[in-house]
Structure 1
Amino acid sequence: MTSSVPSDSGPHPDSGEPEATAGHGPGQPLPPADADPAFDPGARFRQFFNDPRWALAMLRATVLEAAHPQIGAALIDSSTFVAHPWRRLRNTLLSMQRMFGADDEVRQREAARLNRMHARLSGTDARDQPYDAMDPQVRAWVVATMYESAVTMYRLSGQPLDQSTMEGLYAEFQAFLAVLGDQAGHLPPTLQEFWPYYDRVVEEELENTEALRIILYKLFDHLPAPAVLEGLPTVWAAGRALAGPVLGAVTVASLPESFRRRAGLPELPGARTLTQSAYLAIGLARFLPDDWIQAEAVAGLLTLSPDSDDPRARTVTAVRDGIKRAGALIRLITPLPAEPPSTGSTDSAGSRRGAEEFFHAVLDQTGDGYLTWPDLAAMARELSGRLDLDEPEETRLYNAYADWWKELQTALDSDGDGRVSAEEYAAAVPTLAGPALIRVADVLFDATDTDGDQSIDADEYRALFRTGFGRDLADTGGTCSRSAFVKDFLSFMSGRERSKAYDPLLAQA
């Protein structure tokens, strides 16, 4: 079978040829044989979180996952990766940190949450083929792409892993899959058996799916600005125009050659050299101070709203002011197409927004142009993750959103196609704030009010919104009552008013 890495990037990992040990030190000891290797304090997997090259590797792995028909269908139907990529990035990072942290109780709770989430992702694709996120073979493929992309990351960086290190790393990924409850056998038991399995899936099962094309082309071309750069369209458009094509070319060139050929993915001249150069250059960032490249800090900064009371927001505001001045200069030197005008009025809290803007910014969570159940399920998923809900609170929230979807279908789906268009929504805006939406607000209040005292204090409020009380939300005594919470939730979710709290929660990318 064709090698799963570019032919000029070294020997196939299962060749048995001696290679240099990569990582943060030669001869790094592997976890004891009787330990759970993925969760050992010295596990290599943990080192990936703050390795800048891991971003490229995970992008590559995501493309390979999206090329699997079942995963691609689930992404198209239910994922928010197009409309809210930065929020998805932060949530994924948080989940991985919980899974590979030192606290076994946190790990087990996160594994249970992931299983509940995946159990809700099933259906049929556009060709009436079924997909199920709990399919053990599908879950095994997700882990396989992560492992193989990690090995490729080191190879393209000029630090190929030796055989024993690859075996130790493979054991860590197997342990990760085991924590999710999957039985042994869905991933090959040994590394020697893994490579034929990997090549077989690449050759026989992967396709040029719609999700793959969106990630490689549409996502890069239309990637929304992170929260920290909102309001700076010229600067963001200029950076995206330069970085997008490079990321796309690097990702495509790093994919297995046989798949590129079968899927008809173009490879630009010099793309392989560019790919290796990108991994080498980004790898140099590892020598920066640790607090500069902490993944959690970087992700938090990207999603930090300038209106937040986080102390870093003041620094962000100062940086944004400087970038705005630079953006004015860029516009003079290289005029870019104007950003489409907003259909709302202003960004201040309490201002009214246009119905179409609210539909696309808040309701259409998956970005497919329609309001369907997966959009409301994505809201429930985001809120459940923010509050780290267990059962039965999580199911109560999902059920409340499901009831709201039924109410919306009855009121807004005028053509009976099972979805609500922006036009159908705009024609019946007042019907949004019905009894089912009030029920959603009540359930969300109960989930946020962890001590059950019928008021939300500052800590509970911050758990949901990641910021302090807004002056217009806090009741006297430093708490938020049920009535104040429900009123603000209804005003926002019915599209009546903006909210400095809810915009970052459900509207920001």
Structure 2
Amino acid sequence: MFGPGSQFHGFFNDPRWALAMIRATVLEAAHPQIGAALIHNSTFVAHPWRRLRNTFVSMRRMFGGDEQVRQREALRLNRLHARLRGTDTDGRPYDAMDPGARAWVVATMFESAVTMCRLSGQPLEPEAMERLYVEFRAFLAAMGDDAGHLPGSPEEFWPYYDRMVAEELESTEAMRIILYKLFDHLPAPPVLDGFPALWATGRAVAGPVIGAITVASLPEPFRRRAGLPEIAGVQTLMQGVYLAVGLTRFLPDGWIKSDSIAELLSLSPDSDDPRARTITALREQMNRAGALIRLITPLPPEPEPAAAADGGEVRRSAREFFADVLDQTGDGYLTWPDLAAMAREMSSRLDLDEPEETRLYDAYAGWWRELQAALDADGDGRVSAAEYAAAVPSMAGPALIRVAEVLFEVTDKDGNQHIDADEYRALFRTAFHRDTPDADGTYSRSAFVSDFLTFMSGRRRTTPYDPLLAQA
């Protein structure tokens, strides 16, 4: 049911799967509990590319052929979901471990895969649909849930799906953000961050198209109830896009691999990956061409970025640092979910098990209590950008130092009090910087803690921590 040879494995590198997953995500976000968990805890607005890559890595582990990897990933996901609970803006509780909500996530993936095939002119045969449904129910069981939360067969699934659409789904804030804000304001992936004009042009064309065809593909009863607009001609456009994307499946094997594409998009320009170096070289050539054009045209010169007072690294203002680093969820405030998102990202990169993962979360929880006590001037349980900018010249208090120490300890897998090249790459996804290693070619505890505190309090841009916490 998992790994090569499974029905799902054939979809994983299918370009149509990207369209299906966008559609499934919208249907998930329309569930009140899932929508509330997303809007209060997820980084999908401020860091969509990071979220995309983590999702691909998780799905690859869950649907791969290694049973031990799958069990370990299921435990990790359950620990993550167990931390996502609270109350929505209407006072209704939400819990990411709710069995019905978790079953709905799996249901949307199955239904969107079936719809993907139908819209691209290749509907699944009954036997293939049955096999795919068995695999998705097995996936739910692998997560530790009772597979009985989904009906036992595809024939029983469709009445369940229709009932959920008619009775449970709502026009949630998370769903509206995905449809009407995310694609129109999607930041450039890290590897294309140096091409703002090119990215803005492509986004202006592709964003509205993706949003429109996603809306057109949703169940008609839900579109009517949610007040989603009907645009003339979009149904034809939608089918044309699915057909066109489906044709890329006939390209030679290896040309399109979803995990490779996700990794490429998330590469930092400072990465030592050969693909990042190629794009960096292209960016430099384009910058030279732009400089030549500016020399022969009467356009005003572009302002140079402000440098630090010591002539060293470029700094952010306090408000920029707040938006780029601290506000991980993108809601304009610093709250516990923002710091939990940092702990979650680092735990995922380092692939932590218990108890190291809990130690890191606990360290961040202590930092949140310290920040809240020092910066929450109006006592509303959150820190605004104005409160942060007005009250904190430095953030290097005892709790933040503890975060740095715990992060060092969980990165230092062999416990030798130095981070070696492999451990460094696990956290930062790149090789040592020239100014990082100590005399013995490693990264000492004191140097690591000092650099982390310098980044978090000095707001310097050019450190390895910037791709870790600030990039989209």
Q: Same fold (TM over 0.5)?
A: yes
- In the alignment, which of 69, 79, 99 is matched to residue 116 of structure 1? 79
Alpha-carbon spacing, 1:432–1:196, altered in 2? closer, same or farther (3 Å): same
- Relative distance call for 1:330 and 1:372 in structure 2 (3 A) is farther
- 1:445 and 1:485 in contact (8 A); partners too: yes
2:348 maps to what in 1? 385
SS at 1:459's partner residue?
A: helix
Question: Alignment partner for residue 126 of structure 2, among 154, 158, 163?
Answer: 163
Residue 102 of structure 1: how far off its partner (Å): 1.6
Q: State the shift of 1:247 in Å.
A: 0.3
Task: List alignment gaps of at least 5 residues for structure 1.
Answer: 1-36, 332-338
Which residue of structure 1 lines up, in the alignment, with residue 12 of structure 2? 49
Q: Say whether 1:365 aligns with 2:322.
A: no
Q: What is the rounded CA distance, in whole Å, between the counterparts of 1:91 and 1:226 in structure 2?
A: 14
Q: Distance in 1 between matches of 2:444 and 2:72?
A: 30
Q: TM-score, normalised by structure 1?
A: 0.88
Q: 1:310 to 1:174 in 2, by over 3 A?
A: same
Whole-Å separation in 2 of the counterparts to 1:95 and 1:352: 34
Structure 1 pair 496–118 and aligned structure 2 pair: CA distance change class (3 A): same
1:9 alignment counterpart: none
1:137 correspondence with 2:109: no
Q: State yes or no: 1:472 paired with 2:435.
A: yes
Shift of 1:428: 2.2
3-state DSSP of counterpart to 1:131: strand
| Shift in Å, 1:40 | 4.8
Q: Is the 8 A contact 1:412 1:428 kept in 2?
A: yes
- Return the offset for 1:321: 4.1
The Cα shift of 1:284 comes to: 1.5
What's the Cα RMSD here? 2.0
Partner of 1:404: 367
Map 1:7-22 onto structure 2 (within 5 A).
Answer: none
Q: TM-score, normalising length from structure 2?
A: 0.95
One-letter code aligned to 1:352: R
- Opposite residue 488 of structure 1, the aligned amino acid is D
Q: Which residue of 1 aligns with 2:464?
A: 501
Quick check: 1:271 aligned with 2:234? Answer: yes
1:448 aligns with 2:411: yes
- Specify the alignment match of 2:272 in structure 1: 309
Question: Match of 1:360, SS?
Answer: helix
Change (3 A) 1:444 1:399: same
Pairs aligned (count) = 463
Could you say which residue in structure 2 is the equivalent of 1:24? none
CA distance in 1, matches of 2:412, 2:262: 27
1:97 matched residue in structure 2: 60
What residue number does 2:51 align with?
Answer: 88
What are the Cα deviations for residues 50-71 of structure 1, in whole angstroms up to 9, with x where unaligned?
A: 1110000000000000000111
Query: Per-residue deviation at 1:326?
Result: 8.6
Quick one: which of 52, 58, 69 aligns to 2:32? 69
Following superposition, the deviation at residue 287 of structure 1 comes to 2.0
Residue identity (%): 74
Determine which of 177, 190, 204 is the counterpart of 1:227: 190
**How far off is 1:324 after superposition?**
5.4
Q: Is the 8 A contact 1:344 1:357 kept in 2?
A: no
CA–CA separation in structure 2 for the residues paired with 1:47 and 1:329 = 48
Matched, 1:429 2:392: yes
CA contact (8 A) 2:26 2:175 kept: yes
1:39-85 Cα offsets, whole Å, 9 max, x none, are 15310111222111000000000000000011110110000000000
* 1:299 paired residue number: 262
Deviations 1:129-188 (A, max 9, x none): 000000000000000000000000000010001111101000000000000100132111
Deviation string 1:326-355 (CA, Å, 9 cap, x unpaired) is 989999xxxxxxx9x999658x98322211
Separation in structure 2 between the aligned mates of residue 356 and residue 342 of structure 1, nearest angstrom: 19
**1:287 maps to which residue?**
250
Asked if the contact 1:350–1:499 (Cα under 8 Å) also holds between the matched residues in 2, the reply is: yes
Q: Find the aligned partners of 1:345 and 1:290 in 2 and give their Cα distance.
A: 47
Q: 1: distance between equivalents of 2:202 and 2:277?
A: 23
- Relative distance call for 1:302 and 1:433 in structure 2 (3 A) is same
Contact 1:364 1:370 in 2 (8 A): yes
Offset, 1:369: 0.4
Q: Distance between the aligned counterparts of 1:155 and 1:321, measured in 2?
A: 44
Aligned to 2:152: 189
Q: Which amino acid in the other structure matches residue 214 of structure 1?
A: I
> Using the alignment, how far apart are the partners of 1:265 and 1:342 within structure 2?
44
- Aligned partner letter, 2:415: G
Specify the SS of the correspondent of 2:184: helix
d(CA) in 1 for partners of 2:256 and 2:374?
A: 49
Cα deviation code 1:331-388 (max 9, x no counterpart): 9xxxxxxx9x999658x98322211111000000000000000000000000000000
Distance 1:42 1:57 in 2: 21
- 1:81-113 deviation line (CA, Å, top 9, x unaligned): 000000000000000001111211111110000
CA spacing shift, 1:197–1:342, aligned 2, 3 Å: farther
Change (3 A) 1:154 1:316: same
Q: What are structure 2's unaligned runs of at least 5 residues?
A: 295-301
